[in-house]
Chains A and B, each alone.
Chain A
Amino acid sequence: MAETGRLRQPAPPAPLVGPVALLRIAIVLALLALWEFLAHSGWLYRDVVPSLLSIGVAIVDLLSHTAYYYNLGVTAAEIAMALLIGGTSGLVVGLVLGGSGFLSKAFEPYLYYLGPTPKIIFLPIAIMWFGVETPSKIALGTFSCFFPIALSVAAGMRLIDRVLVRVGQSFRASTLQMVFKIYLPAMRHPIINGLRLGFGFALIGTLLAETRLSNKGIGFLIMQADATFDMPRMYAMLIVLFVLAIGANALIGRLGGLDSIKRT
């Protein structure tokens, strides 16, 4: 009975804000205070570290202009196109390489070692082949995202449970049926992981190409802010861009159920 009574005692109320959240708030506040101090200290060149207020005003100003959304749309469309082309070709190449040990040994080392090279250096070739307009940005984004997607899909294909493949074969599934009913569903996580990585690389490739030679897009706006030394605007654009990029990355992971991997 005494035991039961002890169980019925209400649990102590959980604190409204845990120690982790408190520490996070403290770190953010300390960083903001340090930033504001640096902005007013005069230790750095004027406007290199603008005040928080001016950055806040710049963010509001940025988000209230339709021109920003137009340029954001241009960059988003370029990235989406790059992901579509690079993702599809990466998926096909990954499936082919992952499905054949011979082809994998023959060609995968080239992808593996070309993957970590800096893709932006291919911009002069992309401009030569596709011109200075949007297609060269899409080409660079495509080239950037192709490698992680192809390698991730090939690795995922090799990890498919052989039982699933034998089940498909025992049902005399055609190649297309095997791809759509066995391989792709079984490789959902590696594909989404590859897409996440590919998205990051496509974003970087496209944005850098825009900063180098463009008259529209977010990269162009950043270079415009740099050219006019509008530092609050540059910080505002970088902050909004980082929030969007991190958010999109997390969204792709969540839509693909990557968060469920951690729980299982």
Chain B
Amino acid sequence: MTDAALPTARPSRASLSPRLVGFATVIGALLAAEGLVQLGFVNRFIVPPPSEVIDAFRRIVTEEHVFRRFLATAAECLVAGVLLTVIGVGAGVLINRFKLLQQAIETWVASVAAAPLVIMYPLFLVVFGRNALTIVMMGFISGLPPTILKTIEGISGTRQVLVNVGKSFNLSATQQFWKILFPAALPTIFVGVRLGLIFALINIVGTEFLINYGGLGALITDLAERYDLAGTYAAICFVILVSVVFFLALEQAEKWLRPAD
């Protein structure tokens, strides 16, 4: 064996898959938590052992109708998403169409994006009542500013050469919009819709949790109020899982719209 072969024979740190190390660390942390709880170092009435949480998954699926609740949350997200796409993108197009209006209110929209809109939920409760409409409106309102801002950015950022091509073909304003501006801005508009949907999901689940109504958020409140700790942890894990899958799906859709990236 030559000296040169030695480094390849020994598994180096770089040859370990980082993803594998990350996953192994998470599993290790869960095993450590299990051991600490089982040995009594951590109070099991505060932190349930991970094995109980895994077992509780079965319970929340069979007894708590988690999929029905998931569908309720998904339906709220869908309605908020449709509203965001129609009204948010429409408002962005309209604001961009009138430059004076854009100069006047674009900074306002950006300021609203920095405001803690979700804290308005008690007001929405009074206005719309304790029902799905309040939850949908909370999701819609919180996702509106990024959708509008990104739509404006996308249309404003259309390359001048494309606009000039449209002009050289004597396209009408409507044709110019549908054939040049909108297709060119679509990837950026989708970034806005994606951000809007993420904000909407966060606020929809958050509002469900806070007003104890609807789908997955309300499930966590139900279980926490029953002091079903393992179930609460399992439901939280389920919501995280749903959020991650939702996030990944939107990311894939964005990649599909931006093949060059």
Contacts and interface: CB of A to CB of B under 8 A. Distances in A.
Given A20-B100, A116-B198, A211-B210, A246 B123 contact: no
Q: Is the interface of A mostly helix, strand, loop or mixed?
A: helix
B239 to A, nearest CB: 6
Interface in A99-121: 101-107, 109-110, 113-114, 116-118, 120-121
A110 B22 contact: yes
Contacts of A203: 116
B119 to A, nearest CB: 5
Contact of A226 (B105, B118, B122, B247): B122
A120 B210 contact: yes
A204 B114 CA distance: 11
Given A120-B210, A121-B205, A207 B119 contact: yes
Contacts of B201: 116, 118
B19 interface: yes
B190 interface: no
B119 A222 contact: yes
B115 A246 contact: yes
A51 to B, nearest CB: 16
- For chain B, the bracket of interface size reads 35 or more
A241 B232 CA distance: 32
A24 B104 contact: yes
Nearest to B125: A226
B11 interface: no
Contact of B236 (A107, A122, A238): A122
Contacts of A27: 104-105
A37 interface: no
B157 to A, nearest CB: 16
Contacts of B243: 113, 116-118
A257 interface: no
B14 interface: yes
Given A208-B206, A245-B115, A121 B239 contact: yes
Nearest to A207: B119
A219 B198 CA distance: 24
30 contacts: A48-B127, A103-B18, A105-B18, A105-B19, A106-B19, A107-B22, A110-B26, A113-B243, A113-B247, A116-B243, A116-B247, A117-B239, A117-B243, A117-B244, A121-B236, A124-B220, A124-B221, A125-B236, A128-B229, A200-B116, A203-B116, A207-B119, A211-B119, A211-B122, A212-B210, A222-B119, A226-B122, A245-B115, A246-B114, A249-B114
User: Which 4 pairs across A and B sit closest by C-beta, in order of nearness?
Assistant: A105-B18, A106-B22, A124-B224, A226-B122
Interface of B: 13-14, 18-19, 21-22, 25-26, 46-47, 100-101, 103-105, 111, 114-116, 118-123, 125-127, 198, 201-203, 205-206, 209-210, 217, 220-221, 224, 229, 232-233, 236, 239-240, 243-244, 247-248
